[in-house]
């Protein structure tokens, strides 16, 4: 140890050089947002979907542009601009097709064959009223290309599949330029690329804001506690170095930062600060007794360093429990957070310890040292645990029952809206499409024929119609399209384009005629709904963002109808699509949380058993750490906060961090027993030597997570509030319940 202290300047220079290198790597950090990050890996439905889209495009390859005009869209100048926009949009990057009411048409059968009848005669004002009445009567384009009040029109752009962030930004930039060029400024956007741009922008903002606010907050708290600017600067520099090293490592590993990236700075700051405070408190206490700096640091690292290593390990295990999640985004967060904990520990042990030794004793110790306040109050807490053990145990038991009941109230009825930045353009646009159109979410049904049946057989069409009819009659679902839509259009075209004939023909002979017409005149639309083998098809629709639990109920009704009404020997129907995969998260989240935490408890228990060599002590220590986890779940239940993918990390964070206080408390208690103290003497010493550090670190953790109140991301804000409240409960249990359990059962 002394040899390392002799190299303190070399260690500091080494870490600073690493930090400089990290700064060069950080600009290479990538931010991403993809719903597939939260798909359950290995799920049978995911495997099916990945195979299904090989024959068809993905269900989110679109950018929707809704443009408003007051009092309504039936204005010649507005329609002229909108039509030109539709034409020009075909030349936008990554756009395969652009459709709107100004270029859509009805097929019409005449004596000379099929001709096209414009849906909207945009250049003929006398036709506006007739066209609008026809659009309303047909109900084919309402809530898809025009809203029911005729206050806005939609331009639907079909894009290449799976655009990345750079491509999304390029498409949106060119789209906005085109809208500005045509002087169409009252617009709303929706689509995968728009989500991508907005969420990544939010991630960058969150990362910067949370870092700055957390650093400022910790600076204030540390100055109030230590009253020495040099101590505050040492702590902040240490944590800042650890944070930069962490981000540099992520950049070198090629990790893409997801929507959960805003937690990284906070975790690094509060976990690192916790390690620093425990070591500094021990170090400064020894300096007060006249011990030299090197000896004081050596003793502190021997006494606290091992315990701090254990707390860092258990914190990392808490995060690694997220590896049991089937969601890639959650797994990556767990791995990255665990890496951050390790980097913070290494930085504190080597860099901070070396940095402290550069300064004289006089510049480190506060001028006015007043320990009376802390000693008096900590001893009072100890006396309370001695005089009121039954009250504490009964209160803890009642509190636990209260928490267990709250957990039974947890729901998973979350919505996409909650993942959007608060009061942002994308949130406003999302609301617009929810109210005026069919929303953003897609619902898709895969259709596969059996034996020798083909998708365009009349009997198969009748089976498909059963499913499409159910979807059309479901309130939250609209814009239902299938291969039958093409055959219905030809039936309508052969009957003077009358709305009531937009149905399947009543005879197979007529159907076969329209099938031949479709193959001749509608090859491109057919390719959208039928693969080359003519054995696979899709039913696509839009569904409102009504909540996962509500959608699951709709899915079950549809599956029941398919089971009861369709012929499985002829055709098979299966719900699929990205929306369905996202909605399946609920069951996986609940299972993976329980599995991950159970494994985490076992691993932490094994580590603590090896350290304390007392099985009863280990079992008792788990009690004040399980209750805070139950409390986290209870808060979700009582406040009706839906359990979703981001919120699920609460349990891993709480478990990983809350157990630290228990380990520090038990470590000091065991040391007292080893020194020959009685049980009461060891507990009193533990309160005096460790209580202050536990309270200070918990306060920093509390305010550190409260930084998320500045977040514009609702899940992050909720997580910050819940974790802050839970960590306070964990501290109270460690200071009140743990001593009672030690006295009673050890």
One-letter-per-residue 3-state SS of 300-359: HHHHHHHHHHHHHHHHHHHHHHHHHCCEHHHHHHHHHHHHHHHHHHHHHHHHHHHHHCCC
Domain 2-31+197-408+585-745 has CATH 3.40.50.2020: no
Residues of the chain with CATH 1.20.1640.10: 2-31+197-408+585-745
Look at 312-316, 418-422, 441-445, 505-509 and tell me which has the smallest mean pLDDT.
Answer: 418-422
Ranked by mean pLDDT, the top range of 67-76, 206-215, 300-309, 417-426 is 67-76
Residue 350 clears pLDDT 60, i.e. is over it: yes
Residue 455 clears pLDDT 90, i.e. is over it: yes
pTM across the whole model: 0.78
Confidence of residue 87 (pLDDT cuts 50, 70, 90): very high
- Element housing 153 (H / E): strand 152-159
CB neighbours (10 Å) of residue 104?
16
Residue 174 clears pLDDT 90, i.e. is over it: yes
**Which one, of 188, 671, 680, lies nearest residue 440 by Cα?**
188
* Residue that is written with structure tokens 């996202």 in the block: 582
Query: Please, which residues have CB within 8 angstroms of residue 701's CB and are 6 or more apart in sequence?
Result: 270, 274, 657, 724, 727
Render pLDDT for 93-120 as a digit per residue (tens, 0 to 9): 999 999 999 999 888 888 788 888 899 9
CB neighbours (10 Å) of residue 221?
19
Kindly state the percentage of the chain with pLDDT values over 90. 29
Give me the pLDDT at residue 5, please: 62
CA atoms of 642 and 722, how far apart (whole Å): 13
Render pLDDT for 201-255 as a digit per residue (tens, 0 to 9): 887 787 778 778 877 877 787 777 777 788 888 888 888 888 889 888 888 888 7
* Residue that is written with structure tokens 């249990």 in the block: 733
Confidence of residue 366 (pLDDT cuts 50, 70, 90): low
Confidence of residue 349 (pLDDT cuts 50, 70, 90): confident
Question: Are 106 and 488 spatial neighbours (Cβ–Cβ below 8 Å)?
Answer: no
Question: Are 246 and 337 spatial neighbours (Cβ–Cβ below 8 Å)?
Answer: no
Confidence of residue 371 (pLDDT cuts 50, 70, 90): low
């Amino acid at each position: 140890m002394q040899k390392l202290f002799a190299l303190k300047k070399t260690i500091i220079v080494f870490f600073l050089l690493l930090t400089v290198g990290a700064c060069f790597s950080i600009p290479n950090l990538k931010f991403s947002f993809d719903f597939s990050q939260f798909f359950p890996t290995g799920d049978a439905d995911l495997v099916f979907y990945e195979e299904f889209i090989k024959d068809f495009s993905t269900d989110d390859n679109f950018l929707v542009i809704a443009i408003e005009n007051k009092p309504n869209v039936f204005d010649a100048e507005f329609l002229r601009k909108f039509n030109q926009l539709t034409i020009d949009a075909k030349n936008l990057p990554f756009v395969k097709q652009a459709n709107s009411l100004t270029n859509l048409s009805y097929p019409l059968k005449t004596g000379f064959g099929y001709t096209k009848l414009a849906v909207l005669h945009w250049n003929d004002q006398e036709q506006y009223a007739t066209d609008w009445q026809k659009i309303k009567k047909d109900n084919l384009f309402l809530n898809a290309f025009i809203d029911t009040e005729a206050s806005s029109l939609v331009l639907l752009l079909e894009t290449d599949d799976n655009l990345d962030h750079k491509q999304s930004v390029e498409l949106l930039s060119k789209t906005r330029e085109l809208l500005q060029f045509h002087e169409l400024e009252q617009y709303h956007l929706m689509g995968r690329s728009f989500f991508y741009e907005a969420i990544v922008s939010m991630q960058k903002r969150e990362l910067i804001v949370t870092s700055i606010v957390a650093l400022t907050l910790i600076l204030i708290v540390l100055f109030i506690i230590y009253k020495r600017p040099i101590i505050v600067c040492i702590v902040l520099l240490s944590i800042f170095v650890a944070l930069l090293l962490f981000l540099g490592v992520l950049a070198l590993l090629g990790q893409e930062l997801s929507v959960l990236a805003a937690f990284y700075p906070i975790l690094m700051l509060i976990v690192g600060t916790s390690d620093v405070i425990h070591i500094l408190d021990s170090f400064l206490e020894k300096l007060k007794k006249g011990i030299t700096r090197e000896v004081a640091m050596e003793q502190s690292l021997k006494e606290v360093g091992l315990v701090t290593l254990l707390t860092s390990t258990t914190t990392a295990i808490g995060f690694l429990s997220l590896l049991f999640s089937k969601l890639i985004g959650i797994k990556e967060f767990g791995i990255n957070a665990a890496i951050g904990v390790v980097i913070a520990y290494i930085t504190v042990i080597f860099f901070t310890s070396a940095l402290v030794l550069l300064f004289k004793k006089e510049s480190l110790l506060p001028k006015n040292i007043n320990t009376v306040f802390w000693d008096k109050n900590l001893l009072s807490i100890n006396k309370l645990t001695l005089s009121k053990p039954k009250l504490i145990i009964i209160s803890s038991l009642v509190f636990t029952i209260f928490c267990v009941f709250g957990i039974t109230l947890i729901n998973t009825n979350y919505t996409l809206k909650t993942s959007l930045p608060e009061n942002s353009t994308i949130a406003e646009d999302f609301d617009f499409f929810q109210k005026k159109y069919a929303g953003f979410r897609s619902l898709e049904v895969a259709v596969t024929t059996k034996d020798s049946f083909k998708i365009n057989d009349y009997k198969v069409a009748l089976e498909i119609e059963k499913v499409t009819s159910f979807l059309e009659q479901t309130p939250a679902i609209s814009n239902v399209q299938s291969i039958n839509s093409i055959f219905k259009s030809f039936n309508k075209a052969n009957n003077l384009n009358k709305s009531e004939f937009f149905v399947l023909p009543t005879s197979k002979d007529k159907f076969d005629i329209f099938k031949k017409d479709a193959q001749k005149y509608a090859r491109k639309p057919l390719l959208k709904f039928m693969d080359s083998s003519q054995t696979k098809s899709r039913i696509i629709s839009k569904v409102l963002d009504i909540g996962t639990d509500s959608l699951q109920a709709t899915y079950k009704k549809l599956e029941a109808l398919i089971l009861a009404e369709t012929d499985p020997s002829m055709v098979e129907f299966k719900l699929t699509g990205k929306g369905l995969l996202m909605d399946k998260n609920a069951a996986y989240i609940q299972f993976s949380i329980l599995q991950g935490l159970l494994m985490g408890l076992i691993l932490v228990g094994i580590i603590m058993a090896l350290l304390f060599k007392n099985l009863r002590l280990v079992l008792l220590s788990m009690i004040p750490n399980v209750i805070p986890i139950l409390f986290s779940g209870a808060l979700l239940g009582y406040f009706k906060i839906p359990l979703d993918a981001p919120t699920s990390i609460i349990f891993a964070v709480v478990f990983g961090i809350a157990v630290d206080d228990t380990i520090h408390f038990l470590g000091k208690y065991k040391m007292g027993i080893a020194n020959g103290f009685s049980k009461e003497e060891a507990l009193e010493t533990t309160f005096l030597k460790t209580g202050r550090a536990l309270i200070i670190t918990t306060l920093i953790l509390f305010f550190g997570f409260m930084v998320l109140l500045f977040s514009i991301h609702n899940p992050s804000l909720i997580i910050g509030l819940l974790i802050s409240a839970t960590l306070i409960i964990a501290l109270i249990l460690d200071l009140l319940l743990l001593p009672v359990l030690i006295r009673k059962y050890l």
